[in-house]
Amino acid sequence: MAPSSKLGRGKPLKNQTKEVLQKIYRYFESEIERDPNSTVTAGQLVAHATGVSIYALRRLINEKPNVAVKSEPGTTRRRCKKNIVSNDYGAQAMRRIIHSFYTKDEEFPIMKDLYLILKGDLDYQGSLCTLRRHVTKLGFKWIEKADNNSILIEKHDVRYARIQYLTKIEGYRAQGRNIVYTGEMVIESSRTASKPKPDGSSTLLRQPAKKKVVILLAGDQNGVLKNTLFMFDGNKKDMKEETEYKREYFEQYEKWYKIFVLPNLKPSSIVVVDGASPFNNRVSNPTPHSNSRKREMMDYLTARNVPYSVDMYKSQLYQLVLMNKDKYGDYKTDAYLREHGHTVLRLPPHHPDLNPIKTILTSVSSYVGKDINFAIDSVMKIAKEKIYSLELEDWVVGFRTAEAEENNLKAIDKIIDEISEKTFMIYDDEDDDSDYEDNGSDQDSMDMDSD
């Protein structure tokens, strides 16, 4: 009999299929044991009968069986909710509540306590596992204590970026440098919808955006630089390829910096940019990857005056690249503004409250409104009217709010250090902490996969 066609080549086998193949293998194995003169193996017979390769079958036989966790009859597994809206400022309200544990109670928050407070203060509608996803996106990680409670701490890279930003901007102010804040706001045609619940309440659902307008604006300590206002249509037209759409999107940003921002900058200005923006994260000198050609790696090292030998293997060259990539990394936005005598300062991730221009643009978005006839020209006209009607007092409020947040975060970082000294005396090194973080990430992935 001719062998059957390959079963799902390139595709993983389902558990039920694996069980059937294992049973067939065991059957042929027992038959061969009865016939000492047999010249074929059980694996060869199974491969011939099913079309599964010998190698795939060998992996399957050596695979450890998965132990399924059986739930009690009549129960269902909890699933994390996806329909929780969490914009920048809703997320910051959550962050402030977490920080309040540091300032008021002088301790790291426990997840269960945080969950109850968020439900009461913010009417948080997610489950506990949904909250875990949210705090992870905010730059926190949790550590399991001996009593099975999880305490939250901020990740090192988030804290470090914040401290660096606060230190640098304080130094620039002491030097009397002109500090210019830049920001963007995307106004979408559809933001949220309400889904009624049996108890009479409702759940906010995120709806796909049909149309959007991108607003770019800048301001310094003297007020909003209204001449830097630039708006463009952020929609994909004619189903363009993603790369082409991104290229046109970046071209609009380059136009804004060149035509609207640079002419309004005082000499030797400090330009604060959003470090999370894809445009601001374009690398001017891309780092070669492990599969790049040796010549590319050599050119990269030569341009940075890193010594190497032409006799080195590719792996050795790549190791030199990895050792020096952070030292010589640069962004296109930083390089462009530096050529014109200005310095870029990047906002730390997850901290929009430190950018007063973001506060202004949020008020513009609220002014435009949600339930409007979303014609691109109409939205641009309304937004422009709002921005040009802004008074100096509007900017001063946002500017002082950002400075107050800076002082608040400086105090919080000192408290975090003090709490850490008392809480983590049992850990000898940072490796233990990293292990706990990985466990949290794995749990988060499991929660997300269950959706």
Q: 189 and 278 share a domain?
A: yes
Most confident of 40-44, 181-185, 238-242, 422-426: 181-185
Most confident of 119-123, 243-247, 396-400, 406-410: 406-410
**Helices (DSSP H) in 212-271: which residue ranges?**
242-255
Q: What is the pLDDT of residue 433?
A: 43
Provide the token pair at 433.
């902490």
Whether residue 303 lies inside any domain: the answer is no
Contact partners, residue 269, CB within 8 Å, separation at least 6: 177, 178, 179, 180, 220, 342, 343
Q: What is the pLDDT of residue 363?
A: 87
CA–CA–CA angle 294, 300, 303 (5° rounding): 135
Lowest mean pLDDT among 20-24, 63-67, 215-219, 266-270: 63-67
14 has pLDDT over 80? no
Where residue 248 falls (left for φ over 0; alpha for ψ -120 to 50; beta otherwise) is alpha
Most confident of 8-12, 49-53, 96-100, 435-439: 96-100
71 has pLDDT over 60? no
Q: 186 and 219 share a domain?
A: yes
- Four-point Cα dihedral 210, 138, 99, 155, nearest 10: -170
* Residue 172 pLDDT class (50, 70, 90 cuts): very high
Our measurement of the distance from residue 324's CA atom to the centroid of its chain's CA atoms, rounded to an integer in Å, reads 25
Total residue length of the chain: 451
Q: 109 and 230 share a domain?
A: no
Q: What is the pLDDT of residue 444?
A: 41
**Hunting for tokens 């399924």 — which residue is that?**
68
Contact partners, residue 186, CB within 8 Å, separation at least 6: 212, 213, 214, 215, 234
148 near 237, Cβ under 8 Å?
Answer: no
382 near 367, Cβ under 8 Å?
Answer: yes
Angle separating helix axes 88-100 and 128-137, nearest 10 degrees: 100
Question: What does the alpha-carbon distance between residue 135 and residue 94 come to, in Å, rounded to a whole number?
Answer: 8
Provide the token pair at 79.
């699933």
Mean of the per-residue pLDDT values for the chain?
78
* Higher pLDDT, residue 76 or 143: 143
Q: What is the pLDDT of residue 440?
A: 41
Question: What does the alpha-carbon distance between residue 360 and residue 351 come to, in Å, rounded to a whole number?
Answer: 15
**Nearest C-alpha neighbor of 252 from the set 238, 271, 237, 233:** 233
Provide the token pair at 285.
């000198």
Q: What is the pLDDT of residue 344?
A: 94
Whether residue 98 lies inside any domain: the answer is yes
Q: What is the pLDDT of residue 429?
A: 41
The CATH number given to whatever domain includes residue 133 is 1.10.10
Report the share of the chain in percent with pLDDT over 70.
Answer: 74
Beta bridge partners of 203: 195
CA–CA–CA angle 302, 304, 310 (5° rounding): 25
Q: 152 and 170 share a domain?
A: no
Q: What is the pLDDT of residue 153?
A: 85
Q: 148 and 170 share a domain?
A: no
330 has pLDDT over 70? yes
Q: 110 and 198 share a domain?
A: no
- Four-point Cα dihedral 85, 87, 91, 94, nearest 10: -50
Whether residue 38 lies inside any domain: the answer is yes
Whether residue 150 lies inside any domain: the answer is yes
270 has pLDDT over 80? yes
How large is the average pLDDT for residues 130-154?
A: 79
Report the share of the chain in percent with pLDDT over 90.
Answer: 23
Lowest mean pLDDT among 36-40, 286-290, 396-400, 409-413: 36-40
* Residue 131 pLDDT class (50, 70, 90 cuts): confident
Domain count, the chain: 3
As a whole number of Å, the CA-based R_g of the chain is: 29
214 near 240, Cβ under 8 Å?
Answer: no
Angle separating helix axes 42-50 and 15-34, nearest 10 degrees: 130
How large is the average pLDDT for residues 103-128?
A: 83
**Nearest C-alpha neighbor of 13 from the set 69, 68, 61:** 61
For the segment 210-256, what is each residue's pLDDT rounded down to a tens digit?
678 899 999 998 889 999 999 988 876 654 566 777 788 888 999 99
Q: What is the pLDDT of residue 74?
A: 52
71 near 120, Cβ under 8 Å?
Answer: no
Q: 383 and 243 share a domain?
A: yes
37 has pLDDT over 80? no
Most confident of 16-30, 366-380, 413-427: 16-30
* Residue 442 pLDDT class (50, 70, 90 cuts): very low
Domain span including residue 21: 15-62
* Residue 165 pLDDT class (50, 70, 90 cuts): very high
Q: What is the pLDDT of residue 195?
A: 55
Whether residue 172 lies inside any domain: the answer is yes
Q: 348 and 382 share a domain?
A: yes
Whether residue 354 lies inside any domain: the answer is yes
Provide the token pair at 444.
């988060």
* Residue 115 pLDDT class (50, 70, 90 cuts): confident
3-state helix/strand/coil string of 367-419: HHCCCCCCCHHHHHHHHHHHHHCCCHHHHHHHHHHHHHHHHHHHHHHHHHHHH
Number of Cβ atoms within 10 Å of the Cβ of 38: 13
Whether residue 408 lies inside any domain: the answer is no
Lowest mean pLDDT among 2-11, 166-175, 377-386: 2-11
The CATH number given to whatever domain includes residue 238 is 3.30.420.10
Question: What does the alpha-carbon distance between residue 25 and residue 61 come to, in Å, rounded to a whole number?
Answer: 8
Q: 168 and 109 share a domain?
A: no
* Residue 427 pLDDT class (50, 70, 90 cuts): very low
Q: 176 and 258 share a domain?
A: yes
Q: 224 and 134 share a domain?
A: no
Beta bridge partners of 179: 270
Q: What is the pLDDT of residue 110?
A: 83
**Nearest C-alpha neighbor of 447 from the set 152, 122, 157, 130:** 130
* Residue 197 pLDDT class (50, 70, 90 cuts): low
What element of type H or E holds 261?
none
Whether residue 399 lies inside any domain: the answer is no
Provide the token pair at 54.
């010998």
Q: 49 and 111 share a domain?
A: no
* Higher pLDDT, residue 16 or 172: 172
